[in-house]
């Protein structure tokens, strides 16, 4: 992870709190309905958040190196998570539990980084949500290519189709038509 020196020092300062974890693809870090007990930072690999809707997995966010991933409301309020978090690729993670996070919250360098990262992901989610209201599937795909090409390169097509709100067959048609 590429961080400024002040943040790198903050990570190191709390190295005793951070636990390391590695997992293969399709490993559930958090199951929908469970309590979120860990805040993860992805050092290597990618993950997705998704929920079950009538037996279908609906992907709504992807996470890559340097991203913070957790169910924030569940983590902070001890409520069931409305979604699952699952690895897509083999991952190397670091994580904090709720008690350790209380200590990190006091750090003037690290905690703002974690908050900024989470806020950036929330803003990306809001942009994606609004695209459902105003854009066609073709436009959503073009936006994805332009704004988040790493998703196209690293995420299986069935998850991308779900993220775009279309079927894999429709995604295939859009991809075959190319960019307008």
Alpha-carbon distances of 27 from 24, 38, 48, 110, 171, rounded to whole Å: 6, 15, 11, 27, 25
- CATH number given to 5-133: 2.60.120.10
Instruction: Domain ranges for the chain, please list them.
Output: 5-133, 135-180
**Single pTM value for the model:** 0.87
Q: Which two tokens mark 49? A: 């958040």
Phi, psi for residue 81 in degrees, rounded to 5: -70, 135
123: pLDDT strictly greater than 70:
yes
Average pLDDT, whole number, for the chain? Answer: 90
110: pLDDT strictly greater than 90:
no
The reported pLDDT for the residue numbered 104 is 84
pLDDT of 35-88, one tens digit each?
Answer: 999 999 999 999 999 999 999 999 999 999 988 899 999 999 999 999 999 999
The reported pLDDT for the residue numbered 1 is 45
């Amino acid at each position: 992870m590429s961080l400024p020196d002040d943040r790198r020092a903050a990570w190191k300062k709390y190295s005793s709190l951070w636990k390391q974890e590695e997992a293969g693809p399709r490993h559930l870090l958090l199951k929908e309905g469970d309590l979120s007990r860990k805040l993860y930072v992805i050092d290597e690999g990618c993950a997705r958040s998704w929920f079950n809707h009538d037996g279908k997995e609906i992907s709504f966010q992807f996470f890559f190196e340097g991203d913070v991933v957790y169910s924030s409301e569940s983590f902070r309020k001890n409520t069931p998570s409305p979604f699952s978090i699952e690895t897509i690729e083999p991952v190397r993670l670091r994580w904090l539990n709720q008690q350790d996070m209380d200590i990190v919250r006091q750090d003037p360098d690290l905690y703002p980084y974690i908050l900024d990262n989470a806020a950036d992901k929330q803003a990306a989610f809001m942009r994606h949500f609004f695209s459902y209201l105003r854009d066609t599937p073709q436009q959503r795909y073009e936006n994805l290519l332009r704004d988040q090409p790493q998703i196209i390169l690293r995420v299986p097509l069935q998850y991308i189709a779900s993220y775009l709100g279309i079927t894999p067959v429709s995604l295939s048609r859009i991809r075959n038509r190319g960019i307008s």
